[in-house]
Amino acid sequence: MTNTLIEAPGPAVRSTGASVPSLVGLEIRKSLSTRSGKSLAAASILLAPAAAAVAATASSEPLGSVTGPLGALGMLTGLVLLSFGVLSTAGEWSHRTVQTTYLLVPHRGRVLATKAVAVALMGAAFAAMAAALVAGVLALLVSGASWAGVGLAFGAVVAAGAAFAVIGAGVGAATANTPAALTGLYLVILGGIPVLRTFKPEIGDKIDPAGATLALAQGQATTQSILILSAWMGVALVAGAVMTRRRQVS
């Protein structure tokens, strides 16, 4: 008779990888742990209300609706959040902290996705605070203005804040160079596209994320504005993912 040795099953192996919420929280803390990150976060919240206060006290003309100023100042917040997004990705390469990041999470696509979620949440939160402060300034300093559609404008500003932060993160990941990413983005959005809109408005109007934010806040060209912001985010993230996978970590 042969004795058969039956081995007891071993303990189940559990994944030791950090969960997505933990990684997102880590990215948020990293973005807000540096002096430059804190400064950009504060600027994104306070710059638009300060501009609203200056404009309201300097202007003597009556304001028809608050949606226009809210959208314009939300666009200003979004432009600041571009820098915040760029810093979250390109800043890691500039300061050579990317090695530690990839040791913690070796999957580069997952790292970029986590950063995109983190900056989107922060961008939406900062834009919401800025929009609320702008609305408060307008309520205190401007009389007789129409508040119809302010809810839609507020939502548009919050969505644009998230979008601009994600765009910055994607472009920062693609270039891995903070000055190059910032210079390229601001030259295109504030320089190239306005010139294009002057000479080829049928093209410029369809690719302008700043104009899309303003139009969305005023309830104009809603579908086109959403598509413009979505396209910018998609192209930036795809470029960031492709270039990040090809880039050597040294």
Domain boundaries of the chain, sorted by first residue: 21-56+63-246
Handedness of CA 23, 25, 29, 32 (dihedral sign): positive
Please calculate the CA angle 78-30-42 and round it to the nearest 5 degrees: 40
Over residues 87-111, the pLDDT tens digits come to 999 888 777 776 666 666 667 788 8
- 240 or 248: which leads in pLDDT: 240
**Residues linked to residue 146 through DSSP beta bridges, in sequence order:** 65
* Residue 89 identity (one-letter amino acid): T
**Which residues lie closer than 8 Å to 70 by C-beta, 6 or more apart?**
131, 134, 135, 138, 150, 153, 154, 157, 217
Over residues 222-233, the pLDDT tens digits come to 999 999 999 999
Cβ atoms of 169 and 89 within 8 Å: the answer is yes
- 64 or 171: which leads in pLDDT: 171
Element (H, E) at 57: helix 35-58
Q: Which tokens is 177 given?
A: 């160079």
- % of the chain beyond a pLDDT of 70: 88
Nearest to 110, CA basis, from 12, 185, 22:
22
